[in-house]
Amino acid sequence: MATPLTAYALARALRDEGVRLREHANWQTHNRNHKGSWGPVNGVMLHHTAGSDSLTLCRDGTAALPGPLCIGLVAKDGTVHLVGYGRTNHAGAGSSAVYAAVRAEQALPSPPGPDTVDGNTHFYGFEIENLGNGKDPYPAAQLAAAERLSAALCRAHGWTAASVIGHKEWTRRKIDPSFSTVGMRTRIEARLGVRPVPAPAPAFVAFPGTAFFVPGRRSDLITRVGRRLVAEGCGRYRVGPGPVWGEADVLSYAAWQRGLGYAGADADGIPGRASWDRLRVPEAGHE
C-alpha cells in the first residue's frame, strides 16, 4: 500500500523516465475525490479507449460517466496527455482476488472473481488511444510510453511490474487493453532493471511582468503565448496568434484565467504571475 504521489511528483517521475507529457489546464485538481477515497494506491491499470479523438472524452466523460476517465491519455505518437489527478472513473468494481494478488505482487488469478472492490480508489488509471478491434495498431512509440509511465510509477513506489494490470484482468466485464499485458509486464520488468535517462527539464519563460502586456506590444513571446492558449483550448483568434498583443489575446487569456477558476476582475485577460506560471510558455527553441 502507498500514499498517492502528489501531482507534481507524478509529473516529475514520468519526465524522469523519459515520458513526453502535455499538461492540460487544471489537471492537477480535476478528479472525482468528492465521490470516494483516493488511496491507498496499489498499482497501475491500463486501458484502451475503444475510439479515436478521445482527449475530450477522457477529460470530461459523459452524463452517465463524468470525467475525468483517467489520469492520462497515451496518444498514438507516444505523448501522454495529463487530464486529471486523483480518483478518476476508470476502473470501476473488480475482483478482490485480483486486488489481493496485486497487493502481494503475485500472479493474477484467471479469470477474475466477482466485482467487489472499488478500483478507482486503488489504481492509477491510464487510457491508451486505440479502437480495440484487433486491427488498429499500437505504434511502437505508444507502447513505449505505456511501458515508461508504468515503470515510472513502479519505480516511485518501489513496486515490481506485477503491480501493473489491464482492465481485462481486473473484471470479467472488460476486454481492454487489446494487447498482451503479460508482454507489457515483461517490458516493464526489464526497464526497472535499467537506470533511466531523465528527459531534459522543459524550459519555460519567466513571468515578464504585467507591464509587458500593453496593447500594441510586438514580440515573438506574444506569439508563443497565443500558441499555448490555443493548445489549451482557450484561443479566441480569427487571425494569428501573435506577434502583437491585442484584443484577441486578452480574450484568450481571460478564457485561460476562467478555466483556472478566476472570475470577475481577476479574469481580466492580463497575465499575472500565478496564471502565467500555470500556462508554461516555452522559451524560444523549446516548443
Whether 143 and 23 map to the same domain: the answer is: yes
pLDDT of residue 60: 95
Sheet holding 164-166, edge to edge: 21-23, 80-82, 72-74, 123-128, 43-48, 164-166
Q: Is the pLDDT of residue 285 over 70?
A: no
Residue in the block written with cell 475525490: 33
Whether 204 is covered by a domain: the verdict is: no
CB 35, CB 80: distance < 8 Å: no
Domain boundary, last residue among 192, 221, 245: 192
pLDDT of residue 1: 63
**Amino acid sitting at position 266:** D
**What proportions of the chain, in percent to the nearest 5, are helix, strand and coil?**
40, 15, 45
How does residue 53 score in pLDDT terms, banded at 50, 70 and 90? Answer: confident
Q: Is the pLDDT of residue 280 over 70?
A: yes
Whether 285 is covered by a domain: the verdict is: no
CATH of the domain at 75: 3.40.80.10
Q: What percentage of the chain carries pLDDT values higher than 90?
A: 86
Distance CA 29, CA 261 (A): 11
Tell me if residue 70 falls in helix, strand or coil: coil
**Amino acid sitting at position 259:** G
Task: Considering only the C-alpha atoms of the chain, give the largest distance between any 2 of them, rounded to a whole number of Å.
Answer: 65
Whether 138 and 256 map to the same domain: the answer is: no
Domain boundary, last residue among 192, 222, 247: 192
- Strand pairing partners for 130? 51
Whether 274 and 182 map to the same domain: the answer is: no
Whether 122 and 36 map to the same domain: the answer is: yes
Domain boundary, last residue among 192, 219, 247: 192
Whether 59 and 98 map to the same domain: the answer is: yes
Q: Is the pLDDT of residue 51 over 90?
A: no
User: Nearest 5°: phi and psi at 241?
Assistant: -80, 165
Angle of helix 140-157 versus helix 7-16 axis, rounded to 10: 120
Count of CB atoms situated within 10 Å of the CB of 132: 18
Whether 287 is covered by a domain: the verdict is: no
Kindly report whether the global pTM for this prediction surpasses the value 0.75. no
Residue 144 C-alpha cell reads as: 513505449
Whether 154 is covered by a domain: the verdict is: yes
Tell me if residue 116 falls in helix, strand or coil: strand
pLDDT of residue 135: 93
Whether 105 and 215 map to the same domain: the answer is: no
Whether 37 and 70 map to the same domain: the answer is: yes
Q: Is the pLDDT of residue 286 over 60?
A: no
How does residue 52 score in pLDDT terms, banded at 50, 70 and 90? Answer: confident
Structure confidence by residue, pLDDT tens digits, 119-139: 999 999 999 999 999 999 999
Whether 157 and 237 map to the same domain: the answer is: no
Whether 205 is covered by a domain: the verdict is: no
Whether 187 and 214 map to the same domain: the answer is: no
- What b/e readout covers 24-58, taking b as 16+ CB neighbours within 10 angstroms? bbbbbebbbeeeeebeebbbbbbbbbbeeebbebb
Q: Is the pLDDT of residue 170 over 80?
A: yes
Structure confidence by residue, pLDDT tens digits, 136-152: 999 999 999 999 999 99
Q: Is the bond into 271 cis (omega within 30 degrees of 0)?
A: no
Whether 93 is covered by a domain: the verdict is: yes
Mean pLDDT of 77-100: 97
Number of structural domains the chain divides into: 2
Distance CA 107, CA 102 (A): 8
Whether 220 and 172 map to the same domain: the answer is: no
The closest of 174, 79, 157, 76 to 123, measured between CA atoms, is: 157
Query: If you average pLDDT over every residue of the chain, what do you get?
Result: 93
pLDDT of residue 125: 98
pLDDT of residue 197: 63
The closest of 247, 260, 264, 240 to 213, measured between CA atoms, is: 247
Whether 274 is covered by a domain: the verdict is: yes
Distance CA 231, CA 12 (A): 21
Whether 90 and 181 map to the same domain: the answer is: yes
Whether 177 and 41 map to the same domain: the answer is: yes
How does residue 203 score in pLDDT terms, banded at 50, 70 and 90? Answer: confident
pLDDT of residue 240: 81
Domain span including residue 270 = 210-279
